[in-house]
């Protein structure tokens, strides 16, 4: 029995020493629980506030201005744009510049006297169910004035118009975002182990003795995965349309252009990871370390508007955040990449920076 315990103790001691030498694994053991605690406890908030909104006040009366002020006082919306009419609000919704539009018609005063008609309208981006829920919360606002021209006490002022998802189907929100989630996991993981696998199998020695330059090696590694990523996009789009009836209201080639930008950003990030990891297991650990914040902070699972400013700034560094805005805009709102230049620029800059970093870190020599 004592010999058995001695042998067991020796193995345990060996594993502990090996763990101490593997700083990355030890960091993951400590880091993942801390990240999850911080994300779920601090950054994740389903109580949405400060949604970007636009207003079209065609009444221009003291009551209409009071309604706008009361709407902002709820902190559900922040007025970012003031336009002339509902058509401009709809264009802002399509481009993703606002999530909610407040439309006050010219006969606002007369509508207040008619309990059968809503006095004003809320135009909500129905592609995000959280936005729709917040708009319905805002629609409960009331004007409590002691004038005969106002609606009776308790009558709601706003009518909510659900744009792009009138049936309130959750699949319309999930399937486009799922394209980004799947591409993030597969593209980063595939390339994260690419260089490491060559070194572990001894193939890197052969590459070192060839005239292939670093940038050529990097591009040669990622181009096959670009095709794989496009195949994945096609499969998800086809199944989404056949099984869930998810439409593609924008141009199909715009979907693939957005996917190409996103795939490039993820593949170059995977190359950076492959130059930092020593083993394939370390590469997978680092991929998971990046994947978790991407899922939680990108707006796929939890509302972006409900996050504190620090978490929002962090999420802007993640490619998935920008791709989800792009793909939902193209597929559900019928927007184009030209309507979202900021998102396109963010992915291009991310891909350029990470590719430059990967090339600079990689050396065609063995340690």
Q: pLDDT digit string (tens) for 113-151?
A: 887 788 899 999 988 888 888 888 888 887 654 444 444
Which DSSP letter does residue 339 get?
Answer: G
CB neighbours of residue 164 within 10 Å: 21
Pairing mode of beta strands 158-163, 77-82: unpaired
pTM for this entry: 0.84
Contact present, 270 and 192 (Cβ < 8 Å): yes
* Higher-confidence position of 364 and 70: 70
CB neighbours of residue 211 within 10 Å: 5
* Higher-confidence position of 285 and 251: 251
* CA distance linking residue 155 with residue 118, whole number of Å: 9
Backbone phi and psi for residue 55, each to the nearest 5 degrees, phi listed first: -135, 140
* CA distance linking residue 342 with residue 352, whole number of Å: 15
* Collapsed DSSP state (helix, strand, coil) of residue 78: strand
Q: Pick from 160, 119, 121: which is nearest to 143 by CA? A: 119
CB neighbours of residue 11 within 10 Å: 10
* Collapsed DSSP state (helix, strand, coil) of residue 216: helix
User: Which of 109-113, 206-210, 232-236, 287-291 has maximum average pLDDT?
Assistant: 232-236
Predicted pLDDT of residue 367 = 47
Predicted pLDDT of residue 47 = 74
Q: pLDDT digit string (tens) for 181-203?
A: 999 999 999 888 877 887 777 66
Q: Which residue reads 């940038």 in tokens?
A: 215
Give the pLDDT mean for 223-229. 92
Evaluate the CA torsion angle 17, 22, 25, 27 in order and state its sign.
positive
* CA distance linking residue 113 with residue 98, whole number of Å: 30
DSSP states along 26-39? HHHHHHHHHHHHHI
Domain 51-150, what fold? D-Maltodextrin-Binding Protein; domain 2 (3.40.190)
Predicted pLDDT of residue 28 = 66
- Name the least confident of 136-150, 172-186, 258-272, 325-339: 136-150
Give the pLDDT mean for 313-339. 93
* CA distance linking residue 321 with residue 315, whole number of Å: 6
Q: Which residues 6+ apart lie within 8 Å of 340 measured at CB?
A: 95, 96, 325, 326, 329
Q: pLDDT digit string (tens) for 79-106?
A: 999 999 999 999 999 998 999 999 999 9
Q: Which residue reads 């709809």 in tokens?
A: 90
Contact present, 89 and 134 (Cβ < 8 Å): no
* Average pLDDT of the residues of the chain: 84
Q: Where are the domains of the chain?
A: 2-44+169-361, 51-150
Q: How far is CA 108 from the centre of its chain?
A: 38
């Amino acid at each position: 029995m004592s010999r058995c315990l001695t042998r067991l103790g020796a193995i345990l001691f060996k594993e502990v020493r090996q763990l101490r030498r593997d700083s990355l694994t030890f960091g993951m053991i400590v880091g993942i629980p801390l990240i999850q605690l911080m994300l779920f406890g601090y950054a994740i908030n389903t109580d949405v506030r400060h949604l970007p909104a636009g207003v079209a006040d065609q009444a221009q009366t003291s009551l209409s201005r009071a309604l706008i002020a009361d709407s902002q006082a709820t902190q559900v919306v922040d007025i970012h744009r003031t336009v002339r009419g509902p058509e401009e609000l709809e264009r802002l919704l399509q481009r993703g510049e606002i999530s909610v539009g407040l439309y006050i018609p010219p006969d606002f005063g007369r509508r207040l006297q008619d309990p059968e008609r809503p006095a004003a309208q809320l135009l909500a981006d129905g592609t995000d169910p959280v936005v729709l829920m917040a708009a319905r919360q805002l629609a409960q606002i009331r004007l409590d004035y002691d004038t005969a021209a106002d609606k009776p006490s308790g009558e709601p002022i706003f009518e909510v118009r659900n744009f792009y998802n009138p049936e309130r189907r959750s699949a319309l929100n999930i399937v486009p975002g799922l394209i980004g989630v799947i591409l993030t996991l597969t593209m980063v993981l595939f390339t994260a182990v690419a260089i490491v696998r060559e070194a572990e199998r001894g193939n890197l020695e052969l590459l070192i003795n060839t005239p292939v330059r670093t940038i050529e090696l990097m591009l040669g590694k990622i181009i096959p995965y670009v095709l794989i990523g496009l195949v994945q996009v096609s499969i998800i789009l086809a199944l989404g349309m056949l099984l869930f009836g998810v439409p593609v209201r924008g141009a199909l080639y715009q979907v693939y252009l957005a996917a190409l930008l996103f795939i490039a950003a993820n593949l170059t990030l995977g190359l950076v990871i492959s130059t930092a990891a020593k083993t394939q297991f370390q590469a997978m650990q680092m991929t998971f370390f990046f994947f978790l914040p991407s899922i939680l902070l990108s707006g796929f699972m939890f509302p972006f508007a409900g996050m504190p400013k620090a978490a929002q700034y962090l999420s802007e560094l993640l490619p998935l955040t920008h791709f989800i805005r792009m793909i939902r805009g193209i597929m559900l709102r019928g927007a184009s990449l030209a309507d979202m230049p900021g998102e396109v620029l963010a992915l291009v800059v991310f891909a350029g920076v990470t590719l430059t970093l990967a090339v600079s870190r990689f050396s065609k020599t063995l340690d």
